[in-house]
A and B are shown apart, each in its own frame.
Chain A
Amino acid sequence: DAGVTQSPTHLIKTRGQQVTLRCSPKSGHDTVSWYQQALGQGPQFIFQYYEEEERQRGNFPDRFSGHQFPNYSSELNVNALLLGDSALYLCASSRGGQGDTQYFGPGTRLTVL
């Protein structure tokens, strides 16, 4: 049973560029949440997708957008990258849209130069 997978593992971008991160949820899960984790901090909620719609959003600007596909996989897009966007981006999956027990992927480490 595959767990949550994320790609790519690492990414280096320059300021102003755009980036797309990808996530496949755990088998049987239909809900995907995205978090940003800065070094030495706990994960901060970006948004959650369920039934291909954004259900809830944290305190992140519109530069952060997402999408969920019919197979429940998801993408996180960040436009106009800033140095402060450098972080570990985590995807978590759960069942039923209730945010229940969330299982995390290994993360994508984004470095913005």
Chain B
Amino acid sequence: QKEVEQDPGPLSVPEGAIVSLNCTYSNSAFQYFMWYRQYSRKGPELLMYTYSSGNKEDGRFTAQVDKSSKYISLFIRDSQPSDSATYLCAARDNYGQNFVFGPGTRLSVLP
């Protein structure tokens, strides 16, 4: 079992829809959780960074962490065609120096 899992998609939604992207993880020691957006053939861009459980909102993006169920979510409101990209979730514990990434979910927002 991989430490961080994501549905690879592709996920297609119409412009303006609310998008829900999800990850599960197996290591209960993970405390830090990140969402990155990666456009084709580019480096990942940090979107959201959260510590432990709870919600964090930034503009159209909301990140949720539920440590009891080891579940991470990213919600995108009023989705735009420019949101079309691969979304990567990542996690690490308090001691690890590296982040463990999921395989990414490919999102297409159709105009």
Bound CA span A91–B6, Å: 23
Judge whether A42 and B43 touch: CB under 8 Å. Answer: no
Within A36-94, which residues are at the interface with B (CB < 8 Å)?
A: 40-45, 48, 50, 55-56, 58, 88, 90
Please name all residues of chain B whose beta carbon is closer than 8 Å to the beta carbon of A31 when the two chains form the complex: 97
Known: A43-B88, A104-B45. A56 touches B103 (CB 8 A): no
Bound CA span A42–B88, Å: 7
Bound CA span A15–B45, Å: 31
Q: Taking the nearest CB of chain A, how far is it from the CB of B98, in angstroms?
A: 4
Across the interface, B92 reaches (CB within 8 A) one of A58, A99, A103, A107, namely A99
Judge whether A101 and B103 touch: CB under 8 Å. Answer: no
Judge whether B97 and A97 touch: CB under 8 Å. Answer: yes
Known: A40-B8, A42-B88, A43-B88. A99 touches B45 (CB 8 A): no
Q: Which interface residue of A31, A43, A90, A98 has the most chain B CB atoms within 10 A? A: A43
Question: Is A109 among interface residues, defined by CB-CB distance under 8 A?
Answer: yes
Q: Taking the nearest CB of chain B, how far is it from the CB of A91, in angstroms?
A: 8
Known: A55-B97, A58-B98, A106-B43. A101 touches B34 (CB 8 A): yes
Across the interface, B98 reaches (CB within 8 A) one of A42, A97, A99, namely A99
Please name all residues of chain A whose beta carbon is closer than 8 Å to the beta carbon of B101 when the two chains form the complex: 35, 42-44
Given A56-B98, A109-B41, 6 more pairs with CB closer than 8 A: A31-B97, A33-B98, A42-B101, A43-B88, A48-B98, A88-B41
